[in-house]
Structure 1
Amino acid sequence: MTAYMAIFFTHSGAIKFDRNAKRKNISCELMPVPRKLSSNCGIGAKFFYDGNFEDLIDEEIEKIFKINEQEHILVYEED
Structure 2
Amino acid sequence: MEYIAVFFTHSGAVKYNRFLVKNEIKSEMMPVPRKLSSNCGIGVKFTYDGDISSIISEEIEKIFLMQGDSHKEIYACD
Q: How many residue pairs align between the two structures?
A: 78
TM-score by length of 2: 0.98
* TM-score of the superposed pair, with normalisation by structure 1: 0.97
| Matched residue, 1:52 | 51
Which ranges of structure 1 fall in alignment gaps of 5 or more residues? none
Q: Percent identity?
A: 55
**5+ unaligned residues in a row in structure 2: which ranges?**
none
Structure 2 residue aligned with 1:15: 14
**Aligned: 1:36 with 2:42:** no
Deviations 1:22-73 (A, max 9, x none): 0110000000000000000000000000001111111100000000111100
Runs of 4 or more above 2 Å deviation: none
**1 CA distance for matches of 2:14 and 2:60?**
11
Alignment of 1:68-79 (within 5 A): 68-79=67-78
* Cα RMSD for the two superposed structures: 0.5
Structure 2 distance, partners of 1:45, 1:55, is 16
